[in-house]
Amino acid sequence: MKDTRIGLLPLYVELYDKTVPQMRPQIDEFHKKVARALEGAQLTVHTSSVCRTKKEFQSAVQAFTDAGVDAVVTLHLAYSPSLESEDALKSVDCPILILDTTPSYCFDQSTDEAQIMLNHGIHGVQDMCNLLKRNNKVYSVFAGHIEHSDVIARIKKAADMAKAAKRFKTARVGIIGEPFEGMGDFQVQEREMRDRLGIEAVRYDWERGAKRMQEISQAQIDAEFEKDRQDFEVDKGLEREVYDRSARTGLGVREWVRDEGLSAFTINFLATAGSRPGLPVMPFVECCKAMTAGVGYAGEGDVITAGLVGALLSANPCVTFSEMFCPDWKNGSVFMSHMGEFNYNVASGKPFLTEKKFEFTDAENPTVAYSTMKGGKAVLVNLAPLENGRFLLLIKAGEMIRINGENKLGEAVNGWFKPEGELGNFLEEYSKNGGTHHNVIAYGETAEALGYFAEYCGIETIIL
């Protein structure tokens, strides 16, 4: 996702330009080479000129701030005295990613002495990082040769997580209805969410919501139906009346998300009670489409998990809200499901669009679109509120199992997460650490990457 923006800060020392100016062409070429490598990793790179003095560093960092970068990546082109860059780096308000690399892959006894001038930046890294640590700055270090290690890929992943953290800390999460009564694990006071996490809960305006839905035209609904015919396997028995009322509600919710500038939202399905015109049916399909489009979602009024989903979606389109339902002790996995909500980007095939019998309130039946979640490496993530305003991000690596053959659970949101290690141990550690019953599945992620996300958010973390 190339919308992740970094500021590349090349560090050097003015003394070398005065005493060995002939080195600068090679220094500048390595700077350009690293910038190209980062761009090749699908990062948008804002780079400054080579910085040597306090004034140059301050100017570069100000330019990065003005550009709204998600992270600053430092590159030591040689030794650079840390006090020259200290003040500028102290002012950085995003994560600092240290790219600790040099031009030469091999530096053994056969190396020409002239190469020392091009390859000694690592002790500049050490000088600078000591001050970053002393100044309590958020930074990560990535060491390795850019062509013979995964250091660029790791920088890319960390930068993506920096972007996700920024989105999380500025999240606007809409809530329709009240959090599910009696469901205590994810409930947090709105002021605490704002003060501790940065999340702003945005309450649904029922009167305006009803007006939005009334103003949805039949032409809009028909256009949505034509698109759904392409994206879904549509139940031949699905009546248009059922489809239309669900689509009208969903399109109204979509306009609410747009009008309020929401990064995520959550709905308590019990809010459909009483045939309220602001939510006449539960818009399961729109909840799924929202995640597919990069908007976070969680069920039952869970604001913090919705915000987490929305943040991670900014870095990875294959992230979904889910819930652990049933353990499969025999095969060491756990059945993941929910009432009707998941990200269609993680579907193993075209979802089946049909009518859902809805017995929880007096609302009419909505539509749902079911599919089995696809197989692949994945990380299960949970954000757990703890005592005294603390929050803990629980992370467990594993895989979503690829399901072949008959699936009797296919007419439901379904998938199986197989954690690394023994299932029982995972479930024990998960609950011992206070994990809630709402989860996030992030395909293709690593525990290391989610650890960066937690660090950049200022949240405690544990890798189970």
pLDDT, one tens digit per residue, over 171-215 is: 999 999 887 787 777 788 888 889 999 999 999 999 999 999 999
Q: Is 381 helix (H, G, I), strand (E, B) or coil?
A: strand
Examine the domain organization and report whether 328 and 346 are in the same domain: yes
Count of domains in the chain? Answer: 2
pTM: 0.92
Q: What is the pLDDT of residues 259-301, one digit of tens each?
A: 999 999 999 988 889 888 999 999 999 999 999 999 999 998 9
Q: Rounded distance, CA 325 to CA 346, Å? A: 18
Which of 168, 183, 204 terminates a domain? The answer is 168
Which amino acid appears at position 171 of this protein?
A
pLDDT reported for residue 43:
96
pLDDT reported for residue 69:
97
Mean pLDDT of 442-456: 96
Q: Rounded distance, CA 429 to CA 286, Å? A: 34
CA triple 193-342-460, angle to 5 deg: 35
Which of 138, 168, 198 terminates a domain? The answer is 168
Reading the block at residue 21, the tokens are 């100016």
Examine the domain organization and report whether 353 and 239 are in the same domain: yes
Dihedral of the CA atoms 318, 38, 130, 149 (nearest 10)?
Answer: 80
- Is the separation of the CB atoms in 352 and 233 below 8 Å? yes
Examine the domain organization and report whether 136 and 235 are in the same domain: no
Q: Rounded distance, CA 460 to CA 394, Å? A: 9
Which of 141, 168, 195 terminates a domain? The answer is 168
* Residue the block writes with tokens 């759904």: 228
Reading the block at residue 123, the tokens are 């002790």
CATH code for the domain of 137: 3.40.50.10940
Q: Rounded distance, CA 199 to CA 254, Å? A: 20
Examine the domain organization and report whether 219 and 160 are in the same domain: no
* Residue the block writes with tokens 């994945």: 378
Question: How far, in whole angstroms, is CA 44 from its chain's centroid?
Answer: 18
Q: What is the pLDDT of residues 123-146, one digit of tens each?
A: 999 999 999 999 999 999 999 999
Q: What is the pLDDT of residues 70-85, one digit of tens each?
A: 999 999 999 888 999 9
Question: How far, in whole angstroms, is CA 237 from its chain's centroid?
Answer: 38
Question: Angle, nearest 10°, between helix axes 82-90 and 54-67?
Answer: 30
Examine the domain organization and report whether 90 and 37 are in the same domain: yes
Q: What is the pLDDT of residues 360-417, one digit of tens each?
A: 988 899 999 999 999 999 999 999 999 988 999 999 999 999 999 889 888 889 999 9
Residues 6 or more apart whose CB falls under 8 angstroms from that of 274 comprise: 361, 362
Q: Please return the burial class of 427, using the count of CB atoms within 10 Å of its CB with bins 0-12, 13-18 and 19+.
A: middle
Examine the domain organization and report whether 286 and 188 are in the same domain: yes
Domain assignment of residue 140, given as a range = 5-168
Q: Give the helix, strand, coil percentages of the chain, each rounded to 5.
A: 40, 25, 35
Examine the domain organization and report whether 162 and 237 are in the same domain: no
pLDDT at 104 over 90: no
Examine the domain organization and report whether 369 and 412 are in the same domain: yes
Share of the chain above pLDDT 90, in %: 80
pLDDT at 1 over 60: no
Q: Is 293 helix (H, G, I), strand (E, B) or coil?
A: coil
State how far the alpha carbon of 204 is from the alpha carbons of 74, 112, 210, in Å: 43, 68, 11
Examine the domain organization and report whether 456 and 340 are in the same domain: yes
Which residues are paired to 462 by β-bridges?
394
Examine the domain organization and report whether 67 and 176 are in the same domain: no
Examine the domain organization and report whether 31 and 150 are in the same domain: yes
Which residues are paired to 320 by β-bridges?
441
198 Ramachandran zone, left/alpha/beta (phi>0; psi -120 to 50): left
What single-letter DSSP state applies at residue 181? T
CATH code for the domain of 285: 3.20.14
- Is the separation of the CB atoms in 319 and 309 below 8 Å? yes
Burial 232-259 (b: 16+ CB within 10 A, else e): bebeeebeeebbbbbbbbbbbbbbbbee
Residues 6 or more apart whose CB falls under 8 angstroms from that of 202 comprise: 172, 173, 174, 175, 260, 262
pLDDT at 424 over 60: yes
pLDDT at 2 over 70: no
206 Ramachandran zone, left/alpha/beta (phi>0; psi -120 to 50): alpha
Q: Rounded distance, CA 212 to CA 214, Å? A: 6
pLDDT reported for residue 26:
86
Q: What is the pLDDT of residues 234-268, one digit of tens each?
A: 999 999 999 999 999 999 999 999 999 999 999 99
Neighbours of 333 (CB within 10 A): 20
Confidence of residue 117 (pLDDT cuts 50, 70, 90): low
Examine the domain organization and report whether 236 and 302 are in the same domain: yes
